[in-house]
Structure 1
Amino acid sequence: MKTRNIIQFTLVFLVGFTAFAQEKKWSLKESVDYALQNNITVRQSLLDQQIAEQDLKSAKGNFLPTVNASASQNWNFGSFIDQNGSRISRDSRGNGFGLNAGVTLFNGFRNTNLQKQAELGIESSKIQLDILKNNISLNVVNAYLNILFNREAVKQAEEQVAISQKSLEQVQELVDAGARASADLLVSKSQLASDNERLVNAENNVVLSLLNLSQLLQIPSQGFDIQNVDIDLTEAVLAYNNSNEILSYALDNRPEIKGAQLNIDNAELNYQIARSAYLPSLSFGVGASTSYQHLQGQDDVLPIVTGFDATSGEAIIELQKNGFAEQIENNLGYNVGFSLNVPIFNGFRTDASVKRAEISKDRIVLALEQEKQTLTSNVEQAFADAKASLIQYEASKISLESQELAFQNEQDKYDLGVSTSFQLEQVRNRLINAQSSFLNAKYNYVFKTKVLDFYLDKPITE
């Protein structure tokens, strides 16, 4: 019974959570923030930062000494030289133990440059993350605005369907009364069918745009929805007269430029690292070692001359215990030393490596210039697009107002019987086209101004 209650509670919780998720309407800021926190590519980039931090840790470790311990077990068969320098014809086994430490004192500043390079790697990974976040933010904003645009298109289509339906009913009454020809009824029915088709297409576009945004956020599209935002363009003006100010800021602050400049610094360090192979290297090392040797079939003893026989003059030998502990202690030795390596000739490999690093640095300098040219082109194009979108918006607004007046005038003429339904529908189609153009111009202008804010590092979610 207890298990059943737990299962029931879990099901209720999941159903409630799903319902909450379906009822939630995402704001633009929530959408962008969620994408920046949960996007898989962003999370991968954060892991790249952690890798860069480990690279720095490794580079710093090059300045520290290395310490290694060793142990060995060996067997000898036949003749061999023992620890005392005597040749022994007997099988034996032995152990060796050692402890060594070493540190690089100088290697042409290679370690120093490797640490600087690792530090640049962390900065570079952060810049790449900024670039990625900027692009994701802009894509989410574009997708969000696309949903709002399609929803307004649905509203317009619904209004036109309602007008066509009402017009059809009026024409039907006039035809039934004999005041209008049946051809007018066919025109009205045709217009209603076209408006219904336009409405279905608009509704499908809303579904597809919601799907696109949910995929950008990498969340299930089931029940996904956004908040409706009223975009007020009563004062549609550009904040800048030209692109110079935007471009100046972008060239100084955009992460793409900073990343390209870091690449130059990194290339210079690569060049210095390659040149370090010309210089000598100096290292210092200390060590300790000991060993144990055992003759198979014989006790571990050591013959010691304790004196000489007074009569025969022969040496008096005493066998002392020489087991594992005794040999380890007695055979313990130490070493200390310096090692100097001076490069003289290595088949021109160092020359080739230095030349490659120099050429690579020149290429990366050109890459910075290319990045600046690309950014300049993008900013100037963005400003031109924003300026053109403003002009288009103002023109489409005037056109819409004119078409609304024209339609109202044609509707009045139709009501007075001096205009046909065909003429009325022609005028209304021009009105529909004007509405569509105005809606496109409106959201195109909004997005183009967001792009300018993007290059100025201004918030694009407001």
Structure 2
Amino acid sequence: MKKLTYLLLLLIGFSATAQEKKWTLKESVDYALQNNISVKQSILDQQIAEQDLKSAKGNFLPTVSGSASQNWNFGSFIDQNGSRISVDSRGNGFGLSTGVTLFNGFRNTNLQKQAELGIESSKVQLDILKNNISLNVVNAYLNILFNREAVKQAEEQVIISQKSLDQVQELVDAGARARADLLVSKSQLASDNERLVNAENNVVLSLLNLSQLLQVPAQGFDIENVDIDLTEAVLVYNNSNEILSYALDNRPEIKGAQLGIDNAELNYQIARSAYYPTLSFGAGASTSYQHLQGQDDVLPIIIGLDSNTGLPIIENQKNGFLEQVENNLGYNVGFSLSIPIFNGFRTDASVKRAEITKERVVLALEQEKQTLTSNVEQAFADAKASLTQYEASKISLESQELAFQNEQDKFDLGVSTSFQLEQVRNRLINAQSSFLNAKYNYVFKTKVLDFYLDKPITE
């Protein structure tokens, strides 16, 4: 009973620890990269590419095969000695053969190069997938932090509204304020409570979104709060040229498109190999065994002539399975040359298709470069605009805070109404919301620039 109680307490402790776990940004990204199904599939694609390379290398090795047969003959047939026999029989055949392609227009060489490119391409595709997943996780993580700050702001406004309502209630009870001011304060408190509920729902939904990205249970899922300090909000680069130059040289999307060109060139060479002759070398060994039904396995051999009759003297020698297999053993070796002459223009069509494909993938590379250029320039413009927006919203927030404090002082002195005070406070709330949006928008936009520069986006 004590052991059972101890085990239950231990399990409860593990459960509590699991629920209290708060994911850091780095843990979230690392977990997604290790456990995402698409990533696992891409890793399997890479393993398939490695097997393709193994198969391509095997084209250079000789093939070896063995054969065995069992057959029955009924009626007349030609035996191993070339004689016609009208007896039922059964027999076996055994063979071993090998062959190797000596030349086939460099097809095997190009197939191996293509398989090696396949491995590189699968690695590049995995890098692209990991980059996209990382960026999505970072965006989802920042969205949670943004919504949590929105909750804090909403909670502060509810507290302010409640204090304002209590203050107005006292003034109304004392006859110093009209009852209409009380209604305005109650309306504002209800509006702030609604804003708080919506903000809390947004936190729940953003946590659910991140847990789904990580493919972990949403129950008990939580992240570690991060204090984002933007005391020095500046852009490191004055323009997008340096970012673009690095991206064009290093981004996996460009490398993938370049590998596509190399692969298309190899496809073209493989198609052209059909114009060349194929030279092969082969060798083999074979033997057989035959048994006449109802007869012993013997072989009549002439050992001399009878001195009286002059007829041959015949002696039956044992000719069983082992003897026949040994005696019938034969070998062969030779070369085979196949020269293509005409195949209905199929080779010409294959070569032309490969040539057209080469042109298409060259255009695909140019398109990829244009897309990357557009994305980088857009990302830089967005980051620059987000910094301007952040600075402007910060100034606006400071102004609205001063305006609200001034209006609060006037209200306390009785020279301002509740309606006027709430109007100013609503402008302050909007300024706070704009500042919060601008802050996280700037953080994410700078992360996008780091993304194109292959810098860590989890820091």
- Residue range with higher mean Cα deviation, 47-56 or 15-24: 15-24
Query: Residue 456 of structure 2 aligns with which residue?
Result: 459
Give distance in 2, aligned partners of 1:305 and 1:41: 79
Q: CA deviation at 1:218?
A: 0.8
C-alpha separation between the residues in 1 aligned to 2:80 and 2:332? 18
Equivalent residue number for residue 245 of structure 1: 242
The root-mean-square deviation of aligned C-alpha atoms, in Å, is 1.2
Q: SS of the counterpart of 1:236?
A: coil
2:381 matched to which residue of 1? 384
Matched, 1:427 2:427: no
> Do structure 1's residue 211 and structure 2's residue 208 form an aligned pair?
yes
* 1:309 Cα deviation from its structure 2 partner: 1.1
Q: Residue 360 of structure 1 corresponds to which residue in structure 2?
A: 357
Q: State whether structure 2 residue 88 is matched by structure 1 residue 88.
A: no
Structure 2 unmatched ranges of 5 or more: none
Tell me how far apart the structure 1 counterparts of residues 17 and 57 of structure 2 sit (CA, whole Å): 50
Kindly indicate whether residue 367 of structure 2 is the aligned counterpart of residue 370 of structure 1. yes
Counterpart in the other structure of 1:443: 440
Question: 1-side partners of 2:16 and 2:73: how far apart?
Answer: 78
Which residues of 2 match residues 31-46 of structure 1 at below 5 A? 31-46=28-43
User: Does residue 113 of the first structure (1) align with residue 110 of the second (2)?
Assistant: yes
Partner of 1:134: 131
Query: For residues 159 and 13 of structure 1, what CA distance do their matches in structure 2 show?
Result: 40
Whole-angstrom distance in 1 between the partners of 2:135 and 2:18: 24
Q: Which residue of 2 aligns with 1:67?
A: 64
Shift of 1:15: 3.2
After superposition, what is the alpha-carbon deviation per residue over 1:91-133, rounded to whole angstroms, capped at 9, x for unaligned?
A: 1000000000001100100000000000001101111111011
Check 1:11–1:309 CA distance in 2 against 1; reply closer, same or farther (3 A cut): farther
Counterpart residue identity of residue 365, structure 2: L
Partners of 2:364 and 2:305 in 1: CA distance: 89
1:9, distance to aligned residue in structure 2 (A): 6.5
**Greater alpha carbon shift after TM alignment, 434-443 vs 37-46:** 37-46
Question: Displacement, 1:14?
Answer: 4.0
**Paired position in structure 1 for 2:390:** 393
Q: Does 1:339 align with 2:336?
A: yes
Per the TM alignment, residue 220 of structure 1 is displaced from its structure 2 partner at its CA by 0.7
Offset at 1:341? 0.4
Which amino acid is the alignment partner of residue 270 of structure 2?
A: I
Q: What secondary structure is seen at the aligned counterpart in 2 of 1:294?
A: strand
Give the aligned partner of residue 290 of structure 2.
293
Aligned to 1:277: 274
Equivalent residue, structure 2, for 1:228: 225
Aligned partner of 2:76 in structure 1 is 79
Kindly provide the amino acid, as one letter, of the partner of residue 90 in structure 1.
Answer: V
Amino acid aligned to 2:122: S
SS state of the match for residue 192, structure 1?
A: helix
Alignment pair present for 1:310 and 2:343: no
- Return the letter of the residue paired with 1:364: V
Look up the SS of the partner of 1:205 in the other structure: helix
Counterparts of 2:21 and 2:355, CA distance in 1: 57
State the alpha-carbon separation in 2 of the partners of residues 91 and 8 from structure 1: 83
Match of residue 257 from structure 2: 260
In the alignment, the residues of structure 1 paired with residue 343 and residue 193 of structure 2 have an alpha-carbon distance, to the nearest angstrom, of: 81
The worse-fitting range, judged by mean Cα deviation, of 373-382 and 19-28 is 19-28
Q: 1:322 matched to which residue of 2? A: 319
Aligned equivalents of 2:403 and 2:317: distance in 1?
125
**1:345 to partner: Cα distance:** 0.5
Give the Å deviation of 1:19: 1.6
Distance in 2, matches of 1:9 and 1:252, equals 60
What's the offset of the Cα at 1:306?
0.6
The equivalent residue for 2:96 is 99
CA distance in 2, matches of 1:20, 1:407: 44
Give the whole-Å Cα distance in 1 for the aligned partners of 2:14 and 2:79. Answer: 79
Letter in structure 2 aligned against 1:89: S
Tell me whether 1:47 sits opposite 2:47 in the alignment: no
1:38 Cα offset (Å): 1.2
For residues 233-269 of structure 1, the C-alpha deviation after alignment (integer angstroms, 9 at most, x for no partner) is 1111111111111000000000000000000000000
Post-superposition offset of 1:16: 2.9
Q: Aligned partner of 1:274: which letter? A: A
Measure, in 2, the Cα distance between the counterparts of 1:212 and 1:50: 31
Give the counterpart letter for 2:239 in structure 1. N
Match of 2:161? 164
Distance in 1, matches of 2:229 and 2:47, equals 44
For the residues of structure 2 that align with 1:18 and 1:284, how far apart are their CA atoms? 68
Q: Residue 154 of structure 1: which of 137, 151, 155 is its match?
A: 151
Runs of 4+ with >2 A deviation = 7-18
Which region of structure 1 is more displaced relative to structure 2, 434-443 or 25-34? 25-34
Give the 3 Å change call, closer, same or farther, for CA 41–321 of structure 1 in structure 2. Answer: same
Give percent identity, aligned residues only.
89
Q: Aligned partners of 1:309 and 1:84: how far apart in 2?
A: 25
Shift of 1:8: 6.5
Q: TM-score, normalised by structure 1?
A: 0.98
Distance apart, 1:18 and its partner CA: 2.3
Deviation of 1:44 after TM superposition, in Å, equals: 1.1
Distance 1:198 1:64 in 2: 73
TM-score norm. by structure 2 comes to: 0.98
